[in-house]
Amino acid sequence: MKNILVLCTGNSCRSQIAEGYLRHFANNKANIYSAGIETHGVNPKAIQVMAEDGIDISKHTSNNIDEYMDIPFDFVITVCDNAKENCPYFPTKAQRFHQNFPDPAKATGDLNTVMNEFRSVRDMIKAYSESFINEHLS
């Protein structure tokens, strides 16, 4: 079984959403993990927009990359430029992938505007995740 790590800055939004979708599309064909170079807790708005699409990430935890040093990853996906540039070295033969997604937690405006940004980023990550699984686990 393949091991996939999704890495972001704070492991609160983008990497959590990607973990949820990768797990969904992999359908038990891979172990999916997410982590951050920092931990900020899972963002409640990320939980909400995922629930709107039928994916429950409410039990996810925000994890630091250091917690996963002993796992032999096959794939490491960075989902923000900051994580790609600041990812600490860890011993892995994993193939590395990078796709920078906007940070929905930085959205400004009224609640409706902010939630629409979360939905927009969620949909981008959903499309990327489905494509990634189809290309690398089929």
- Name the residues annotated as catalytic: 8, 80, 87
How crowded is residue 120: how many other Cβ atoms within 10 Å of its Cβ? 15
Task: Classify residue 11 by its DSSP letter.
Answer: S
Q: What is the CA radius of gyration of the chain?
A: 14
- Give the angle 133-42-76 at the CA atoms, nearest 5°: 35
> Is 8 in a helix, a strand, or coil?
strand
d(CA 88, CA 90): 6
DSSP 28-83: TSEEEEEEESS-----HHHHHHHHHTT---TT----BGGGGTTS--SEEEE-SHHH
